[in-house]
Amino acid sequence: MPASSCEDRVAIALSISLSSISLSITNAVKALAEHGDDATITDFLIEIDERVMIEEFRASCLAKVKETAPTITRVLWRGADAKGYPAFWIAKINDQRHVFLGKVGRRWGLEEGDPDGILALIPDDLFEAAAMMVYERDDKV
């Protein structure tokens, strides 16, 4: 199959999937609004966001380093490169292990380690923001 045909099919499948996902979330929020309160809706949307970030991390591992992502419990931080594109992730494997996915120099890398060692991989200009977010989102660090 020619690349453009394959790309077209992927784009169509993605469009259909996103439309279906959007409709499902909208319907779920409407149902929660009828039977719940604003806090329930907020909790639901936060959980959706958490799951999306995990799936984005998994997809980025495959796309950037051609490896299956380790099983993670939460994405703790995501940072952008100078052009604004997602280029750095810190995710939690468990209380003792975190994982870094990011562009170091010109190469992408995937590194597992203790929380402090993983934070040390973050570029200096992003370190403060990354550390604050990691500590905020992970009380076990």
Q: Is residue 120 part of a domain?
A: yes
**Per-residue model confidence as pLDDT tens digits over 98-135:** 999 998 878 999 999 999 999 999 999 999 999 999 99
- Indicate if the pLDDT at residue 3 is higher than 70: no
**Per-residue model confidence as pLDDT tens digits over 49-75:** 999 999 999 999 999 999 999 999 999
Cβ-based burial of 130 (10 A; exposed 0-12, middle 13-18, buried ≥19): buried
Give the pLDDT confidence score for residue 141 in this predicted structure.
40
Give the pLDDT confidence score for residue 60 in this predicted structure.
94
- Our count of domains for the chain comes to 1
Give the pLDDT confidence score for residue 12 in this predicted structure.
85
Q: Is residue 131 part of a domain?
A: yes
Q: Is residue 128 part of a domain?
A: yes
User: CA nearest 69: which of 59, 82, 83, 77?
Assistant: 59
| CATH number of the structural domain spanning residue 106 | 3.10.450
Which residues make Cβ contacts (< 8 Å) with residue 129, sequence separation at least 6? 77, 79
Q: Is residue 102 part of a domain?
A: yes
- Both tokens of 126, joined, read 């992003």
Q: Is residue 95 part of a domain?
A: yes
**Per-residue model confidence as pLDDT tens digits over 79-91:** 998 899 899 999 9
What distance in Å separates the CA atoms of residue 88 and residue 77, rounded to the nearest whole number? Answer: 8
Domain that holds residue 95: 53-137
pTM over 0.85: no
Q: Is residue 3 part of a domain?
A: no
Name the band, by pLDDT with cuts 50, 70 and 90, for residue 16: confident
